[in-house]
Structure 1
Amino acid sequence: MTDDTIIDVQHVTCGLVPLMSTHLGGAEPDVDTVEFKVRQGIQTELWNSFGTGSEWRLTDIRKDLFFDVVTFVRVEQSELDPLGLMEF
Structure 2
Amino acid sequence: MKEDDNIIDVQHVTCGLVPLMQTHLEGAEPEVDTVSFKVRQGIRTELWNSFGTGSRWRLLSIEEDLFFDVATFQRVEQNELDPLGLMDF
- Normalised to the residue count of structure 2, the TM-score between the two structures is 0.97
Report SS of the residue matched to 2:47.
Answer: helix
Q: Which runs of 5+ in 2 are unaligned?
A: none
Deviations 1:34-64 (A, max 9, x none): 0000000000000000000010000100000
Distance 2:6 2:59 in 1: 17
1:19 aligns with 20
RMSD (CA atoms):
0.6
Alignment length (residue pairs): 88
1:60 aligns with 61
Structure 1: which amino acid aligns with 2:38?
A: K
Q: Which runs of 5+ in 1 are unaligned?
A: none
Structure 2: which amino acid aligns with 1:67?
A: F
- Normalised to the residue count of structure 1, the TM-score between the two structures is 0.98
1:49 aligns with 50
Report SS of the residue matched to 2:20.
Answer: helix
Q: Percent same amino acid at aligned positions? A: 81
